[in-house]
Amino acid sequence: MNVFRAALYKELLLQWRTRARVLSVVVFGATALLLMSFAIGPDAGALRLHAGGFLWLALLLSSTLTLEASLEAETEQQALEGLLLLPVPPTILFYAKAVANTLQLALLGAVLVPVAIVLYGAETARPLALFGLLVLGAAGLAAPGTLYATMTARARAKQTLLPLLLFPLVVPVLIAATKASSLLILGDPMRQLAAWLTLLGGFCGIYWTLCGLMFGLIVED
Is 8 near another protein (CB under 8 A)?
no
Q: Report the site for another protein in 38-67 (rule: CB under 8 A).
A: none
Q: Which is nearer to another protein, 43 or 81 (CB)?
A: 81
In residues, how long is the chain?
A: 221
**Region near another protein per CB under 8 A, out of 10-18, 37-45, 60-68, 109-117:** 10-18
Q: Which is nearer to another protein, 15 or 62 (CB)?
A: 15
Amino acid at 150: T
Is 136 near another protein (CB under 8 A)?
no
Contact with another protein (CB under 8 A): which of 12, 22, 49, 73? 73
Cα gap 145→151, rounded to integer Å: 10
**Region near another protein per CB under 8 A, out of 43-51, 60-68, 97-105, 153-161:** 153-161
Is 208 near another protein (CB under 8 A)?
no
Is 191 near another protein (CB under 8 A)?
no
CA distances from 187 to 16, 73, 104, 199 (A): 37, 42, 28, 19
Query: From the CB of 126, what's the least distance to another protein, in Å?
Result: 21
Q: Which is nearer to another protein, 128 or 171 (CB)?
A: 171
Is 176 near another protein (CB under 8 A)?
yes
Q: Which is nearer to another protein, 108 or 177 (CB)?
A: 177
Q: Which is nearer to another protein, 38 or 221 (CB)?
A: 221
Contact with another protein (CB under 8 A): which of 39, 42, 45, 156? 156
**x/- contact string, 85-114, with another protein (CB under 8 A)?**
xxxxx-------------------------
Is 22 near another protein (CB under 8 A)?
no
Q: Which is nearer to another protein, 102 or 178 (CB)?
A: 178
Long-range contacts of 165-174 (CB under 8 A, 24+ apart): 166/63, 166/64, 166/67, 166/141, 167/60, 169/144, 170/60, 170/140, 170/141, 170/144, 170/145, 172/140, 172/199, 172/200, 172/203, 173/137, 173/140, 173/141, 173/200, 173/203, 174/56, 174/57, 174/60
